[in-house]
Structure 1
C-alpha cells in the first residue's frame, strides 16, 4: 500500500515543474501512445471478431452446418433420409434443396446465377432472406405461375426489379440432331432480398422446390439436404449416425470442408493483427520507461533530500511505480474510450475516409460483407487492458529501482 505522503509526491511528479516541460511532453506522448495502442487493439480485434461472426452466421445460416450431398448431384428417394436426419439427436433443422449454377438474363444483360429450390415453408423460415426483403413479397413465390426471388446485387446487375421477367438458361436442354438446345424459361421477380454477403446477393435465385425440379427435369429427386445442428463444432459427431444410410448414395460434407480455408485464414490473420498492433503498446511502454528515467535524473536532488528525511528505498520504489502506472492507466482509459467510439462510428469513419481519399475502403466484392462488422469480446478487452497495465508496470521497475538506489551522501556532498 502507498502512504499519503507518497501519493502526494507521486501527484506532484506527474505535474511539470520548472524546466521539466520536456519530461511532461514525453510523459504525455507515452499516455497518448498507450491510448492509441489500446484503442487500435480493441478496434482491430472487434472488427476481426465481427467479420468472422458475420461470415459464420450468414454462410452457415444459408448453407447449414453440413450437407448431405448425393452422388452425381442427385439424391433420389430422399424422404426417408430427411425423416431420419430430423429425428437424429442434435439436429435442429434439415431442409431438402436443389442448387444449380445457371445463366440469368434480362433484356441485353446476362449474369451467372445460382438457382436454389427450397420448400416454401423453408423459404419463409430462412431468416436471413425473410428478414432482409428489400422489395416485393416472398409469399408471392407460392402463387400460380413462375415466380422467383433474387439477390439485390443481381437485381442491380441485370437492371431488373419486382414485376420484371427474367430468363433462366440451363445448358441441359433438349437434344436435337444439331446439338443440345439450351433450356430457357421466363420467371417473374416476386421479391428482392439482401443477405449482406456480396457473392450470394450477386447470384442467388430462389424458387419453390417443385418448380426447380420441373425446370431442371429432376423428377422427384433433390440435390442435397442441408443440416443445422445444436453445435457447429461438433457437427461431424452429431451426424455420424447418418453415415450408414448414405452408403452408395452420397456423403456428408460439414462446414469445415466447405469453408474451412476461409475461416482458417481469418483466424491466422486475427492472430497476426493482434501481434502487429500490439507493438504500438510496446513502443508506448518504452516511452513510459524513457520519461521515468528522465524524471528520476531531474529529481535526483529531491530524492536525496527525501532519503535523508527518512524516506525508505521501498517508498521511492512505490512513488515512481505509481507515477508510471498512473500514466499507463490514464492511457488505457483514454484508449478504451477511443476504441469504443471508433467502433460506434466505424461505418461513418470508413465512408468519410473513402470520400476524402477517393478510394473505396470497403468494396463488398472483395470483403464479402456489405458493411464493416464489429463484435466486441469483453474477455479480449480485459486481456488487452491487463496486458497494457502489466507492461506499464514492468516499465516502471527499472527507473524506480534507480531512484531507490540513489545515494544521498554522493548527491548532497557539495550542496
Structure 2
C-alpha cells in the first residue's frame, strides 16, 4: 500500500542533510531540549511521589487509618465496639488505646510527651512500631511492670537509654487536704523507637494498656480504638459506612482528616512542580517554531515546485507538520526512556554522584529522609508524554501554515 506523498516528503526532509547547518543545529537543540524537559519532569514527579509515599508510610506507621474515640474522651466496652467495626469486610484489624498528656522527669530535667497505652500484640496489627524499634523490645511492655518505650528524640533529650529509670507525671491528680497532687510513677525504659518523624520521635511514649488505665484511672475503659483497612485511600468511604454500625457515642475520623493539611500541601507542591517543569517542555517544544520557520524559508523553491505540480496548500502544511512532529517525537521518546531509566535507578545514581563529588544532598543531621526516594507512576509518564506531544504538535502549526501560503511565482522569480 503506497504511503501518502506528504508523509514521504516530510520524512525525507527530516532525514536529509541540510545545506544550512545552522538549521540542523537548531533542530538538534530542539530535540535535546524536549528530551531533557520530559526526562526532568518524569524524574521530579517520581521523586515527589517517592517523598509522599515515604512520609505517608512513616506517618501511618504510627497513626491509624481510622480512629474511633469517645466523645467525652472515654469508651466503654471497647471489645464489642471493635467487633462491630471488624464486621466491615474492608477492616483488617482493631486495637484499643489509652491516650493522655504526660511529663517525664529525669535528674531535674522535664519533658512533655503524649502518652499512649497499647496492647503490643494488637498494636502490631494496626501500626509498625516493631519495625521502628532501635533498642529494646515492644514485647517488654507487660502489665504491672511499668515499662515504657520512648521516641528516639525524646530519649535523647532526657539523656536516657534502655534500662534507665524515668519518672512519669500525669495530670490526673490525687485529691489531698493540700489540694490536687499530680500522680507520679517510676517507669523503666524497655525500648526506644525511631519512625523518622520528629513529631512522634520527640513527643510520643508507649506503655502497656493496663498500666495506662491504672495511671489515668480509667478502670476498664479506653480512649478509643484504632483500625487498619485494606486500602488506606478508601478510609474516608469506610468511615461513612461504619458510622451507622457503631453503637456508641463515638467520633470517627480517618488519616486524611488528622493529617489533611500536610498531605494537601505535598499535593499542591507536586502540582506546582508539574506546572513549572511543563513550562520547560513548552519552551523546548516551541523551539521547533524557529526551526521550521527557517526550514520553510530554505525550502521555498521546493514548495513552489510542489505547488506547480498540483500540490494543495493543506498538503504542503501536512509535510511540515510531519517534519516537526517527527523531531518532537524523537526528542519525546529519548526523554521518556531517559526519565524512566533514571527514575527507576535513582537510588543507584544519586549515591554514585555523591561519592564522585564528595557531597551529600540530604544530610542525616538535617533531614529525616536521607535517601532520595522514587516512586514511578505510569499515569504520570503517560500524562507527561501526552502534554509534550500536544505542545510539539502545536508548535508546528504556524510554520506549516506559513509554508502553505507561499506564492509559487514569488518563490521561483529569482531561482
TM over 0.5: yes
| Cα distance in structure 1, aligned partners of 2:60 and 2:301 | 67
For 2:149, what is the secondary structure of its paired residue? strand
For 1:217, what is the secondary structure of its paired residue? coil
For 1:63, what is the secondary structure of its paired residue? coil
How many pairs does the alignment contain? Answer: 405
For 1:182, what is the secondary structure of its paired residue? strand
Per the TM alignment, residue 235 of structure 1 is displaced from its structure 2 partner at its CA by 1.9
Q: 1:109 to 1:37 in 2, by over 3 A?
A: farther
Q: 1:95 to 1:18 in 2, by over 3 A?
A: same
Match of 1:232 in 2: 235
Q: 1:31 to 1:307 in 2, by over 3 A?
A: same
Match of 2:264 in 1: 264
Say whether 1:157 aligns with 2:160.
no
CA deviations 1:92-116 (Å, max 9, x no partner) are 2221111222223444544332221
Structure 2 gap segments, 5+ residues each: none
| Cα distance in structure 2, aligned partners of 1:395 and 1:173 | 74
| Cα distance in structure 1, aligned partners of 2:281 and 2:76 | 60
For 1:75, what is the secondary structure of its paired residue? coil
For 1:8, which of 8, 12, 18 is the aligned residue? 12
Higher alpha-carbon deviation: 345-354 or 381-390: 345-354
| Cα distance in structure 2, aligned partners of 1:58 and 1:304 | 66
Contact 2:147-2:189 at 8 Å conserved across structures:
yes
Match of 1:91 in 2: 91
For 1:183, what is the secondary structure of its paired residue? strand
For 2:183, what is the secondary structure of its paired residue? strand
Structure 1 gap segments, 5+ residues each: none
Q: 1:158 to 1:319 in 2, by over 3 A?
A: farther
Say whether 1:317 aligns with 2:321.
no
Match of 2:63 in 1: 63
Q: TM-score, normalised by structure 2?
A: 0.83
CA deviations 1:271-308 (Å, max 9, x no partner) are 33322322222222221112211222233234445656
After the TM superposition, which residues 326-405 of structure 1 pair with which residues of structure 2 at under 5 Å, given as runs?
326-340=326-340, 341=342, 344-345=345-346, 349=350, 363-364=366-367, 372-405=372-405
Contact 1:136-1:162 at 8 Å conserved across structures:
yes
Match of 1:123 in 2: 123
CA deviations 1:231-286 (Å, max 9, x no partner) are 3131232212234x22xx43223334323333333333333332232222222222
Contact 1:42-1:381 at 8 Å conserved across structures:
yes
Higher alpha-carbon deviation: 312-321 or 3-12: 312-321
Q: 1:360 to 1:139 in 2, by over 3 A?
A: closer
Q: TM-score, normalised by structure 1?
A: 0.83
